[in-house]
Structure 1
Amino acid sequence: MKSLLRIWLLVAVPYLVLAQVDGNSKVTESADVASIRALRLQSNQAIEGRNLQKFGETMLPDIQVTRGSGSHVSGRDSVLASVAPQFKDPNFLGYVRTTERIDISTSAPLAAEHGHWVGRFRKPDGIQTITGTYLSMWRKTDTGWKIRSELFISLSCTGSEDCGK
């Protein structure tokens, strides 16, 4: 029962808090926001399934990513090449990005997604958990929304001596 409540709190509460409420107290959301949320879910599922092709489908070819450590990766092919070893590593337990807010631009085909992320890794001395916040820039294209850039900031690390390295 506790795990069901935890899942509901992680999934439903942020959605209900961040969605707009119309005059009839019905939760509504723009098609653009719903699309970006669905694409984020697809990206998270691709990480969970260790599917590089699906993971790359949400990105523009010229994506720019700044990782939580501060390192920078340019281009979808480079991003995919950089995560491929993690996808093959049985000690990599995954990343989950949780959307907190999506702002759709009124002046350009852009959107800003704000959220928090968690990365987990099996280490000899326990499960290392790294957490932080992120900001993603999405661009609306002829084929739908795609990620143009992402900035991840690591804010905490627990569970392993490797956190201090």
Structure 2
Amino acid sequence: MANRFLTLFRMASFFVAACAAMPPAPAQTVSADEASIRMARQALNTAIEKRDIERYAAYWTANPEVIWASANGLVAGRDANIARTAKAFQNPGFLYGVRTPVIVQVNQEDGAGAAETGTWRWAYHRGGKDIEYQGRYLVGWRKVDGSWKVQSELYVQTGCKPSCS
């Protein structure tokens, strides 16, 4: 498990560095699949805003894997991810969470998979102040019975306002 996490972390670090260096994508026509994924992201952001774990989890595959930006690392499986997300939603200090997609790219070979990259913000009230964690993310989407579901998520923290120290 440790080797798998280390490998995923190395890949994620390379990915984040590569994304940071990429120029903005040229304007182009949005496919129906990309539009569906972007609408799913909006629904997921609304579920976070409303702290609706059932609506949020409805967008996961049967066995999602999430690497959280926190020290908790890899969380594998639907039940474990529901518990982890529900804990965040139930925290009275939780203020908000937003993911903003930058690029959604659908596999042109079979159309069954897609990658979404973007930025995230997640905020809590702790120690008498509001703290907003920020970073980049990568989500692996899989088309299941005609609907796009989250297969994997990776979050890397790149900042904190005000300082988290």
- CA-CA distance at 1:18 after TM superposition: 5.5
Q: 2:129 aligns with which of 123, 126, 129?
A: 126
Whole-angstrom distance in 2 between the partners of 1:115 and 1:154: 12
C-alpha separation between the residues in 2 aligned to 1:85 and 1:64?
Answer: 17
TM-score normalized by structure 2?
0.79
Structure 1 counterpart of 2:108, one-letter code: T
**Distance in structure 2 (CA, Å) of the matches to 1:74 and 1:36:** 22
1:153 to 149, 153, 156: 156
The equivalent of 1:39 in structure 2 is 40
Identity %: 35
Structure having the higher Rg: 1
Q: Please list the CA deviations of residues 28-50 of structure 1 after superposition, one character each: whole Å capped at 9, or x if unmatched.
A: 31100000000001111001000
1: distance between equivalents of 2:26 and 2:145?
26
Segments of 4+ in structure 1 off by > 2 A? 17-21
Shift in Å at residue 19 of structure 1? 7.5
The answer for unaligned runs of 5 or more in structure 2 is 1-23
Aligned residue among 83, 93, 99 for 1:81: 83
Across the two proteins, how many residue pairs are aligned to each other? 140
**CA distance in 2: counterparts of 1:142 and 1:83, whole angstroms:** 25
Which position in structure 1 is the counterpart of 2:52?
A: 51
Alignment of 1:12-31 (within 5 A): 20-21=27-28, 28-31=29-32
Q: C-alpha separation between the residues in 2 aligned to 1:19 and 1:29?
A: 12
Distance 1:107 1:141, change over 3 A: same
Which residue of structure 1 aligns with residue 63 of structure 2? Answer: 62
Q: Distance in 2 between matches of 1:122 and 1:37?
A: 29
CA RMSD of aligned residues (A): 1.6
What TM-score comes out, normalization by structure 1 length?
Answer: 0.79
Cα distance in 2 for partners of 1:149, 1:121 equals 24
Residue 100 of structure 1 corresponds to which residue in structure 2? 102
